Amino acid sequence: LSGPPWVDREGTAILDGGWKLIENSTPAPGVPAVELYDARRDPLDQHDLAAQHPETVARLRGALAEWRAEVAKVRLETHPAGEAGLSSDEIERLKSLGYVQ
């Protein structure tokens, strides 16, 4: 059995002005790196509109880049003592969530 289509995928999404942009950093086979949906008309993300709206894709990708830069400024450094007692799986999970580097 295979899991849902979002399992083993990693990405970031932003909603703005009725648009939803998804940047897939680890897309599944056949899934584009960037997807754009009209969140008001297509709440189930059925119709990717990225090719039809490149200016919206560029604007939202820029907003995500700005957000990432702001997050990087305030991200806490990993302290070795803070990882004591954690398994490698737990540490990787915290890293994937952005809590540690």
Q: How confident is the model at residue 56 (pLDDT cuts 50, 70, 90)?
A: very high
- Can you give the length of the chain in residues? 101
Q: How confident is the model at residue 54 (pLDDT cuts 50, 70, 90)?
A: very high
- pTM of structure: 0.67
pLDDT of residue 10: 81
Residue 19 CB contacts under 8 Å (≥ 6 apart), including other chains? 36, 37, 38, 39, 53, 56, 60
- The pLDDT mean for the chain works out to 84
